[in-house]
Amino acid sequence: MMKRLTITALALLAACGTPQEQCISYNTRDLRVVDRLIVEVEGNLERGYAFEKTTIYEDYWGYCPQPQLPDAPPVKPRLCLKERAVIVDRPKAIDLAAEARKLDSLKIKRKELARKAEAVIAQCKAQYPE
């Protein structure tokens, strides 16, 4: 757990701009992705369902431009009904056993990536000392 926090903290620091931090950030990207996926899958298992992003369309009142005639006074825009896309999270049923297997697989992959990240971080620190 402590290693996980240390690597996560280093990854957060890597968002800054020194060459060392950029090197660490670039080379630990996969580890951060796997960490986010682990959090997502753990949440799915805790809730018993997942969320999927769905686009819905909402109507709203807005101003629409009116055609302008060449020699006529300007015409004010008028209210009209418009539509906008909104992304929402919808609950989705999941296979809890498959989700548990996915979590186990992600944790194994995370250990492998963390092991590789330690060497890469040491290399970045050696290459770009601060």
127 confidence band (pLDDT: 50, 70, 90): confident
Together in a domain, 61 and 72: yes
Q: What is the pLDDT of residue 40?
A: 96
99 and 129 in a single domain? The answer is yes
Gyration radius of the chain over CA positions:
25
pLDDT for the residue numbered 20? 84
Q: Are residues 45 and 56 in the same domain?
A: no
Does 13 have pLDDT greater than 80? Answer: no
Specify whether 128 is located in the same domain as 108: yes
The structure tokens 């092991």 sit at 115
Quote the CA–CA distance of 91 and 99 in Å, as a whole number: 15
* Residue 93 neighbours by CB under 8 Å, 6+ apart: 49
Structural domain total, the chain: 2
Same domain for 55 and 43, yes or no, is no
Q: Is residue 5 part of a domain?
A: no
- 2 lies in some domain: no
Range of 80's domain?
50-92
Residue pair 55/85 in contact by the 8 Å Cβ criterion: yes
Q: Is there a single domain that holds both residue 101 and residue 127?
A: yes
Indicate yes or no: pTM above 0.85. Answer: no
